[in-house]
Structure 1
Amino acid sequence: MGQLKLIKKAKAGDKKAFEKLLSLYSDRLYRTAFLYTGNREDALDIVQETAYKAFLAIKQLKENKYFLTWLTRILIYTAYDLKKKQKKDIPYEYISDLPSNKNERTDEHIDLVRAINELQDNQRDAIILFYYHDLPIKEVAKIMGIPKNTVKTYLQRGKKQLKNTLKGVGYSEGKVI
């Protein structure tokens, strides 16, 4: 069944259709949540809370084709809410749990996640959405609710900071993102 049909059914109150939609995007949601939290348990909590909030608000989705954008935005706000509640440094002991499509060494992955978490919030959001989710700048701008040129600025500044941070832990100049 097509995604747009599932979205229409979910908006009409079909719980099974909503569950299918969530299962389509569950890995992506988890990876994004993990990048914000740094541990498995909090990432799963964020995904669960996102699913709950999205289920309650699905009828407010205006354009069905932007379901994933809408869902990702809910996830980001939920991650920020959790971080505000915790007000603590991100523990990195579960870093190896992050599912990755790339075969990276664990220590490099830990350094990269730490460096990403040191970025300003807007830069981190842009980097995660653009590089981890391979979203076009237009889509990143829509999720973040900012102009495309601002996204480009955040990406440029974020990459520069990541290069500076990771240069200190042994990354070569061309190896960062």
Structure 2
Amino acid sequence: MEKEFTEGDAFVAAYSEYFGVVYKEALKYSGNHHIAEEIAQDAFFTAYIQCGSESKQQIKTWMLMFARYRAMNYIRDHKREVPLAEITMSEDRYPNSLIDDSSEDQVVALLKEKCFRELGIDIFQELYQKNARWYKAVTLVYYADMPQKEVAKRMGITLNALEGILKRARKWMIKRYKDQYDRLHDI
């Protein structure tokens, strides 16, 4: 069989004659000039590679179908994409502290927060083992944020006695954990 489409000037003539029709078909279904151009070029390239013995009319029909389905597939595959130019950051949703920090700074901040949380857990566990009354007073006043008067009443002690317990507990925590806290704070 002869290669009517790909031999000599036949391809150039077909390209000149059909490019506009194939492009319009792709544009009709894709709605995007750039995509339609790519699809039309791809249709001719694929036709040149795969077709050779078909007539020009068969090639035209095939390229029109190719353009239509390629455009519909493009739309299906890219319908959820949002162009970068359309994405805007609202300062309410993304505070400047998160936008300006590098990824490394964010990781360091997260690790630091994790270490402080673990230190707090260690302090409370050891405080409970050291003195259960101190633990109860510190937990109710500083963690549960209860008024000291109410905590004193609940524990069955005077307000002065509660203040003494809190002072001794703070003094013990500072003596025991000040170095660890300072090291974490300096990171």
TM-score by length of 1: 0.39
TM-score by length of 2: 0.37
Tell me which of the two structures has the higher relative contact order, counting C-alpha pairs closer than 8 angstroms and 6 or more residues apart: 1
